[in-house]
Amino acid sequence: MKSEKYTYTPLEWDTTHFGVMCSKLVLHAEISVEKLTDLIGQNMNVQFITIVNEQSNPINSRVIGEFTNAFLADINIQFQKNILEQQISEGINITSSYPYNQKIVDLASFQVSRFIEDQKLNELGGKDVYREWLKNSFNRDDKFYATSVDSNGEINGFVLFSFASEKCIIELIAVDVNSAIKGIGSKLFKTVEAYANDRDIKVLQVGTQIRNLTAINFYHKMGCKQVGCHQVYHLWN
């Protein structure tokens, strides 16, 4: 279901992974109490609904808080950067259709996540969401991995990214904790930027959680500007 004010979408992957019926409701503009409760009421068979309140609209925040059982699980911060000409850093490789790599999967130990902090979701497999995300991105020609290796040839950092709507989308980025102070993240980011620029892509986009201050500070350091601040609510029917 879609209109100018909202988009309601069943989530097939989430339903399979968590073992409960899942869907997503994105609010693009102010929505009435009647319409919100009607949408939820029409889908009582859906056990878990993610409600995204774009740009944290205060009217929608009040309506959700007063007339539903949803709770605020996250605030998603979106960043963009106008891509600059960069040099591909030494020791960084970019590959599409990347074969399965267990080291990359092991690096995806993200602790700040609504999938973990929601106890019900965590019990249903929330801690494995990002690892499954990575596993589903291997061997695909529309997914790209930028990888860094240490002096022993072991992967110590990666960026998973893709292209959509003439933008370069950074999906996931992780660096081994033992390499975090060596500038690996900056080299990976700049190399992705250079690769996108070579493809005549001029905008880079990335998102993170409001509580992930390390990521927020990193994206500011890399010259990104905040363009979105979206409340994310969890509703368990």
Q: pTM of this prediction? A: 0.93
For residues 26 and 6, the answer to whether their CB atoms sit within 8 Å is yes
- What is the predicted pLDDT for the residue at 180? 62
180 CB neighbour count, 10 Å cutoff: 14
Instruction: Map residue 234 onto helix, strand or coil.
Output: strand
Strands 22-27 and 48-53: parallel
Query: DSSP alpha helices (H): ranges in the chain?
Result: 12-18, 33-42, 58-67, 102-107, 114-117, 119-123, 129-135, 184-198, 213-221
For residues 139 and 98, the answer to whether their CB atoms sit within 8 Å is yes
For the chain, which domains are there? 6-68 (no CATH), 81-228 (3.40.630.30)
- What is the predicted pLDDT for the residue at 52? 98
For residues 97 and 137, the answer to whether their CB atoms sit within 8 Å is no
Query: DSSP alpha helices (H): ranges in 177-234?
Result: 184-198, 213-221
pLDDT tens readout for residues 155-201: 999 999 999 999 999 999 999 987 666 799 999 999 999 999 999 99
pLDDT tens readout for residues 69-92: 999 999 999 999 999 877 777 789
Closest CA to 54 of 200, 191, 227: 227
Dist CA 232 CA 49 (whole Å): 10
Dist CA 214 CA 107 (whole Å): 16
CA distance between the termini of the chain: 19
**Residues, the chain, total?**
237
DSSP string, 10-41: E-HHHHHHHSS-EEEEEE-S---HHHHHHHHH
Output the tens digit of pLDDT for each of the chain's 237 residues.
889 999 999 999 999 999 999 999 999 999 999 999 999 988 889 999 999 999 999 999 999 999 999 999 999 999 999 998 777 777 899 999 999 999 999 998 888 999 999 999 999 999 999 999 999 999 999 999 999 998 888 999 999 999 999 999 999 999 998 766 679 999 999 999 999 999 999 999 999 999 999 999 999 999 999 999 999 999 998
Residue type, 206: V
